[in-house]
A and B are shown apart, each in its own frame.
Chain A
Amino acid sequence: AQKVTQAQTEISVVEKEDVTLDCVYETRDTTYYLFWYKQPPSGELVFLIRRNSFDEQNEISGRYSWNFQKSTSSFNFTITASQVVDSAVYFCALRLGGSEKLVFGKGTKLTVNP
């Protein structure tokens, strides 16, 4: 069965600090997709990134970067120079190829203090 573990329940940083959110996944399938979502206090889940299992290329988007390593089954998310607006709960999720079901981690609550 597939599983996503976000070991960090809560993280608190001061503005402008860099922060990395960890995500470890488990699956025996060779085809799968990984996602990160942001859930601000308003409640809406905002899609950030999708990665498929055949693409280990890391990605950078502005202050956000993602590190996908199949060897360690990890898909970590780094925010550089954090801002107060980054405060939210961040979910990592896994979907197997051929399945519509997203399996979410328990989420990491990030608080960025001014």
Chain B
Amino acid sequence: DAMVIQNPRYQVTQFGKPVTLSCSQTLNHNVMYWYQQKSSQAPKLLFHYYDKDFNNEADTPDNFQSRRPNTSFCFLDIRSPGLGDAAMYLCATSRGVAHSYNEQFFGPGTRLTVL
């Protein structure tokens, strides 16, 4: 089945220690997104890639970076995690706004704990 895969599902890191979260897709979608979702809140978009074009949200802290080396993979790097960065991180993909079927499909998420 075509899908969005996130690894690891659970990640524990120490305060200030860089961490990388991974997302891959078999849907061959043009757009990949990273969302942050804190407990009992709605997902918040951090940034997205349309193909190789990176689009950052204005309020995303510089501490969060992303890489998309190819169509299938996208990474979220947190350079110096703080306690406030503990959250579920959701990766999503879509065909893009120009397509009629433009819904976003989400992966299972990575739950990040910062000690």
Considering the chains assembled together, what is the distance between the CA atoms of A46 and B3 in angstroms? 12
Asked if A101 is at the interface of the complex by the 8 Å CB criterion, the answer is yes
Main secondary structure, interface of A, reads loop
* A97: contacting residue among B31, B90, B97, B109, CB under 8 A: B97
The interface residues of chain A lying within 8 Å CB-to-CB of B18 are none
* B31, A100: Cβ atoms closer than 8 Å: yes
* A44: contacting residue among B31, B41, B106, CB under 8 A: B106
Considering the chains assembled together, what is the distance between the CA atoms of A95 and B92 in angstroms? 15
Known interface pairs A50-B102, A97-B97, A100-B48; A44-B109 also in contact (CB < 8 Å):
yes
Asked if A102 is at the interface of the complex by the 8 Å CB criterion, the answer is yes
* A100, B103: Cβ atoms closer than 8 Å: no
Residues from 47 to 67 in A contacting B, C-beta threshold 8 Å: 47, 50
> How many residues in B have their beta carbons less than 8 Å from beta carbons of A?
26
Known interface pairs A100-B31, A100-B33, A102-B45; A35-B103 also in contact (CB < 8 Å):
yes
B5 to chain A, nearest CB (A): 11
Asked if A71 is at the interface of the complex by the 8 Å CB criterion, the answer is no
* B41: contacting residue among A95, A101, A106, CB under 8 A: A106
Considering the chains assembled together, what is the distance between the CA atoms of A102 and B102 in angstroms? 11
- The total number of A-B Cβ pairs within 8 Å is 53
Chain A's closest residue to B42 (CB) is A104
Residues from 38 to 97 in B contacting A, C-beta threshold 8 Å: 41-43, 45, 48, 50, 55, 57, 88, 90, 92, 94, 96-97
Considering the chains assembled together, what is the distance between the CA atoms of A100 and B33 in angstroms? 9
Of the listed residues B42, B103, B107, the one surrounded by the most CB atoms of chain A closer than 10 A to its CB is: B42
Asked if B108 is at the interface of the complex by the 8 Å CB criterion, the answer is yes
* A45, B50: Cβ atoms closer than 8 Å: no
* A102, B111: Cβ atoms closer than 8 Å: no
Considering the chains assembled together, what is the distance between the CA atoms of A96 and B109 in angstroms? 25
* B97, A106: Cβ atoms closer than 8 Å: no
* A101, B45: Cβ atoms closer than 8 Å: yes
Give the interface of A toward B (CB within 8 A).
33, 35, 37, 42-47, 50, 91, 95, 97-102, 104-107
For the complex of A and B, list the 5 residue pairs with the smallest distance between their C-beta atoms, beginning with the closest. Answer: A104-B42, A45-B106, A44-B108, A43-B109, A50-B103
